[in-house]
Copies of this chain bind each other. A is one copy, B any other.
Amino acid sequence: MQADMNRQVRLVARPRGIPQAEQFALVTEPVATPRAGEILIRNHYLSVDPAQRGWANDEGNYSAPVPLDSPMRALAVGEILMSNAPEFRAGEFVYGWFGWQTYCVATAQAVLRRVIPSALPLSANLGLLGINGLTAYLALHRLGDPKPGEHVLVSTAAGSVGSFVGQLARIAGCHAVGLTSSAEKAALAQARYGYRRMINYRDTADLAGAIREACPDGNDVFFDNTGGPIADAAIRSMRLRGRIIQCGTAANASWTPVPTGPRPEREVLTRRLRWSGFIIFDHVAEFEEAATHLTQFALDGKIVHDEEILPGLEHAPGAIARLYRGENHGKLIIAVD
């Protein structure tokens, strides 16, 4: 391998739905040279995220779709080889929007966080210390305001964010109950992710009843990644002055036309709820503080973080489809060889 060649995984066809391997191509081009204000990064680990589906499609999401014939948009962690930006120096490690490629020339705006050296592996910056762990920590603490002894209900509890929410709720002294879609995931979440009880909603004809049984005292916090019928039942389990964190709406594949459901206004009023929307990129200024806490929890053995690392860039094209098939065990990461 030539040190000065950049290997890229480019999006070459617009997918409809979940991106498949054939919509990507491995392309090699010379490494670009950073200009004034830019840095050159050698990526070590690349992230595979459910949100890449939206970025690859033309769905009118939060961000513009990835242009065809350009490297797939992705979070990554790497080392700065050369810096023409005053805020960075060669030898520093950074986490940010560096794409599915071996080398990246970027401005400071692409960097989300300077990586703090610790005893944790560098790959942890994509899972525990990446947007999954940061979302769990910041959404739970900034919007959920969990207090010791309170009850926390989490949808998609075995997922990439939910697996941290249960553990962080336990660390905060709360009782966490989770919802997931299989008995296997329920057992995993109860064994490893801090949940006292798990509900397999696919195996439950009466979701409201199952929540009442698992949460006889009601819930102070509902950490919601789904919306839909799960949220309809959960909102009716809330205690007075409960907090709902809307972190995703995975239950509804389409919002055109807008799906209907039971009205929540009376629940918001009579239970004095506070229902807030959370999007992680609003909170970049708080990443370092959150990462410091998460690192310490991991070093103290209070939090587990599972990773599945695929060896080599050639695994990237099929990785999003693999994620949506649910075949990964833990945060799916690509090691750049």
Contact status B263-A246, CB under 8 Å:
no
The complex places the Cα of A307 from the Cα of B140 at a distance, in Å, of: 46
Q: Which 7 A-B pairs have the closest CB atoms?
A: A227-B265, A258-B262, A269-B277, A275-B275, A272-B277, A268-B277, A246-B268
Which residues on B sit within 8 Å (CB–CB) of A268?
Answer: 246, 275-277
Question: Is A261 located at the chain interface by the 8 A CB criterion?
Answer: yes
Contact status A252-B269, CB under 8 Å:
no
The complex places the Cα of A248 from the Cα of B228 at a distance, in Å, of: 24
Which residues on B sit within 8 Å (CB–CB) of A252?
Answer: 263, 265-266
Chain A 248-279, CB-CB to B under 8 Å as 1, else 0, gives 11001001001111111110111111111111
Which residues on B sit within 8 Å (CB–CB) of A221?
Answer: none
Contact status A276-B265, CB under 8 Å:
no
Question: Is A231 located at the chain interface by the 8 A CB criterion?
Answer: yes
Contact status A231-B265, CB under 8 Å:
yes
Contact status A269-B249, CB under 8 Å:
yes
Contact status A274-B272, CB under 8 Å:
no
The complex places the Cα of A265 from the Cα of B246 at a distance, in Å, of: 7
CB nearest neighbor in B for A251: B265
The complex places the Cα of A121 from the Cα of B269 at a distance, in Å, of: 33
The complex places the Cα of A276 from the Cα of B270 at a distance, in Å, of: 10
Q: What is the size category of the interface that chain A forms with chain B?
A: 20 to 34
Contact status A272-B279, CB under 8 Å:
yes
Given A275-B275, A275-B276, A276-B275, is A259 in contact with B263 using a C-beta cutoff of 8 Å? yes
Contact status A278-B269, CB under 8 Å:
yes
CB distance from A43 to the nearest CB of B (A): 30
Chain A 216-256, CB-CB to B under 8 Å as 1, else 0, gives 00000000100110010000000000000011110010010
CB nearest neighbor in B for A224: B265
Q: Which of A138-173 contact B (CB under 8 A)?
A: none
The complex places the Cα of A231 from the Cα of B266 at a distance, in Å, of: 12
The complex places the Cα of A258 from the Cα of B233 at a distance, in Å, of: 12
Which residues on B sit within 8 Å (CB–CB) of A228?
Answer: 263, 265
Contact status A269-B260, CB under 8 Å:
no
Extra contacts besides A258-B262, A272-B276, A272-B279 (18): CB < 8 Å: A62-B270, A246-B268, A252-B263, A252-B265, A252-B266, A255-B266, A258-B263, A259-B262, A260-B260, A260-B263, A264-B264, A268-B275, A269-B277, A269-B278, A270-B279, A273-B276, A274-B275, A274-B276
CB distance from A295 to the nearest CB of B (A): 27
Question: Is A282 located at the chain interface by the 8 A CB criterion?
Answer: yes
CB distance from A160 to the nearest CB of B (A): 17
Q: Which of A249, A268, A270, A274 has the most CB of B within 10 A?
A: A268
Which residues on B sit within 8 Å (CB–CB) of A255?
Answer: 266
The complex places the Cα of A191 from the Cα of B260 at a distance, in Å, of: 38
The complex places the Cα of A195 from the Cα of B152 at a distance, in Å, of: 41
